[in-house]
Structure 1
């Protein structure tokens, strides 16, 4: 086993370990480039260090480009995209005003929570429909 092969094999292991310590799927692709370099020095043992550095740089850029093009964001699609966005789940809900809307602001109770609402001034007890969300404030209109 040559020193060059050992260098690239160890570099690949270090890069894979760095990915395990700080996951983000970035060092992993540099690790793949280092593995490719280990194979390259086995196939072309006369490759100089400068050529290896240039080839590694090219392989690293290519591997990161492959990651960004085909793997980034894959598998992150949720069948429940509003799962942790409770306010947005309420769009379309009809509720009764717990406090009248005066000056554009009021309050409703939905399930076990009170929500600040914004909309046209309406009296206490009016049924309103949630039409949009702005942060934790519900935009409503008379139902």
Structure 2
């Protein structure tokens, strides 16, 4: 696989205005997220009137740390308590082929890799209160296990 040097890739996304020009230069931006996770909820398909259907499911990521003298989890003989934080992510799949595959094969407990972008939005709940929502819009899903949690 041929890889471009990092600086060459960055030049595609970041453009600097030169001293001699005062014209507006549009910059490319990057909104990417990668999650290696376990599925927390079976997918559902939703469709708003007049809009394309979307497959929605949740994923959990875990962060672990050790408090005390050594903060590394892997250190043998380390003292301190191990703490864990679980963060839940809402995944939406709009792409027609991927949406159908996700609905059919994503199941609670399996491990998957998801690539996508973060989307922030607002909606009105049942009580007419404005709420904020953060969603991962999936562009790619790779299945890492074909069954629930290994025993």
Q: What TM-score does the superposition give when structure 2 sets the normalisation length?
A: 0.34
Structure possessing the higher radius of gyration over alpha carbons: 1
Report the structure, 1 or 2, having the larger helix content. Answer: 1
Q: Which has the higher contact order (CA 8 A, sep 6+)?
A: 2
Report the structure, 1 or 2, having the larger strand content. Answer: 2
Q: What TM-score does the superposition give when structure 1 sets the normalisation length?
A: 0.35
